[in-house]
Amino acid sequence: MQTATPPPVPSRPVILENNLPGVRLTSETGFTSEIYNHGAHVGSWRDGNGDAILFLSKHAQFTPPKAIRGGIPICFPQFSNLGPCATQHGFARNQAWELVEQDSSQHKSRECVFQLASSDATKELWPHEFVARFRVALVGDTMETSLSVTNSSDAKTFEFTAALHTYFAVGDIAKASVAGLGNTTYLDSLDGRIEKVDANESVTFPHEVDRIYQQTPDCLQVVDEANNRTIQIKKTNLPDAVVWNPWVDKCKATSDLGDSDYEKFLCVEAAAIQNPVKLAPGETWVCSQVLRVSKGCV
């Protein structure tokens, strides 16, 4: 006898804790994540014990169009001021995205896709026709994310830069580091973006750090000694990596961060900055970032 395939569950956002619509995902090992329609912003990723792997500021504002401080903001169509529009980090993190796909098994979702299509509002900021899609999937102790951008115009080529501005929660910044960037060239955003070479095996944080590492390896690690864990970052089509920690003064000056929050997070932002992505009409660009958490420090 044939069993009838259950009808697909409609993709419908729920209202999440901060009164914003979004999706809650749960992996088969009990990891969870919340993704908001606002910015297609990954707001949280927690392990089976409920411990946060991503940092979300207690002072974050959930009042669109303001971007949410923490999690994974999507910087598109530019990183910082390096790109084609006037808005810091582009506008994708400030826009309402639409939930277009969501799987469901026994009322738990593991995967969802949000979409942002160009509109009159985006064209005022960047005069191009595009469709961006952001997929998030939880597979065991892994979070898979991928971003695609299609040039949906029939005439105009465009260029953009992009980053997945991931805020990693760490137990103590003094015992945290980023591995994989030894002997890599970076632009020092705290020193006129002049080019420097990092001779150290790991990036540590004894002070403010704001660097654009260029042409980096596809595998990097956030080593979080205080929490005795390592998060592996595996990226594709995102050759650059921004490493940022605001340290004392910038933390105090940033209204949606607590004064001592710099002790509790560091950002590694898988990015395409040095060589902007160029898309002809009809072309699609796809990048991905896969995060995996494991016990112990490398």
Residue closer to ligand BG6 by CB (options 80, 118) is 80
269 has catalytic annotation:
yes
Place of tokens 């084609």: 84
How many C-beta neighbours within 10 Å does residue 231 have? 25
Q: Which is nearer to ligand BG6, 67 or 290 (CB)?
A: 67
Q: Which residue is nearest to ligand BG6 (CB)?
A: 244
> Tokens 């004894």 sit at which residue?
206
Residues that bind ligand BG6 (CB under 6 A): 80, 88-89, 165, 189, 210, 242, 244, 269
CA–CA dist 244, 216 (Å, integer): 15
User: 130 vs 247, which CB is nearer to ligand BG6?
Assistant: 247
Residues 168 and 55: their CA atoms lie apart, in Å, by 5
Least CB distance from residue 145 to ligand BG6, whole Å?
Answer: 17
Report the residue number, 88 or 236, with the smaller CB distance to ligand BG6.
88
- For residue 44, the minimal CB distance to ligand BG6 (Å) is 18
CB of 179 to ligand BG6, least distance (A): 20
Q: Of 14, 279, 288, nearest to 131 (Cα)?
A: 279
Q: Please, what is the minimum distance in Å from the beta carbon of residue 222 to ligand BG6?
A: 15
Of 222, 25, 276, whose CA–CA distance to 135 is shortest?
25
151 vs 62, 133, 154, 161, 265, CA distance in Å? 30, 12, 8, 14, 35
Question: Position 85: which residue type?
Answer: C
89 in active site: no
The residues assigned a catalytic role are 165, 269
